[in-house]
Amino acid sequence: MGKNQLYEDDFYAWSQQQAALLRQGKLAEADLEHIAEEIESMGRTEKRELISRLKVLLTHLLKWEFQPAGRGSSWETSIHVERNEIADHLEDNPSLKALIGTAIEKAYRNAVLEAANETSLPLQTFPQECPYRFDEIMDDRFWPEPPKSTSRSIP
């Protein structure tokens, strides 16, 4: 069975075979193109994981701020857990720190949609851009308070 065929038919077997070839130094026999694709894919997966965890955290921070009557231990626990998970993920993948700004932008887009859906508040209730800095998002002492006026809302 050729390099490409095993990759298509049985990814697990292909991955084990390729790992063995690399460990043995048999680069000429390895499926280098697919190996490179899979390594790039792994990097994208780590980036998506960061964005996904930020989305969950931002959703809960928005709900905390804009629906204070719903505050409870479940939201609080979720905020603590996601902060820990993001910190651990960044510790394991320090180069992702350079992408924090973009990751927050991408995560916030969907966090607003989820917060609006979960709170039944109009989408216009929430700021168009993330109102929190990364250091606030990650700070266990940061718990956003409800807006004092509607000036933070989208017109």
Residue 8 is predicted with a pLDDT of: 87
Q: Confirm if 73 and 21 have CB atoms less than 8 A apart.
A: no
pTM score, whole prediction:
0.82
**Looking at the chain, how many residues does it have?**
155
**Amino acid letter at 21?**
L
- In the chain, domain spans: 44-152
Mean pLDDT of 115-130: 97
Residue 2 is predicted with a pLDDT of: 61
Q: Does pLDDT of 111 surpass 80? A: yes
| Phi-psi map region of 72: left, alpha, beta (phi>0 left; psi -120 to 50 alpha) | beta
Mean pLDDT of 20-36: 93
pLDDT, tens digit (0-9, with 9 covering 90-100), for 66-84: 999 999 999 999 999 999 9
In whole angstroms, what is the distance from residue 54 CA to residue 72 CA? 20
Residue 7 is predicted with a pLDDT of: 87
Q: Does pLDDT of 1 surpass 80? A: no
- Residue 154: which pLDDT band, with cuts at 50, 70 and 90? very low
Helix (H) or strand (E) holding 11: helix 11-23
Q: Does pLDDT of 151 surpass 60? A: no
In whole angstroms, what is the distance from residue 90 CA to residue 135 CA? 13
Q: Confirm if 89 and 53 have CB atoms less than 8 A apart.
A: yes
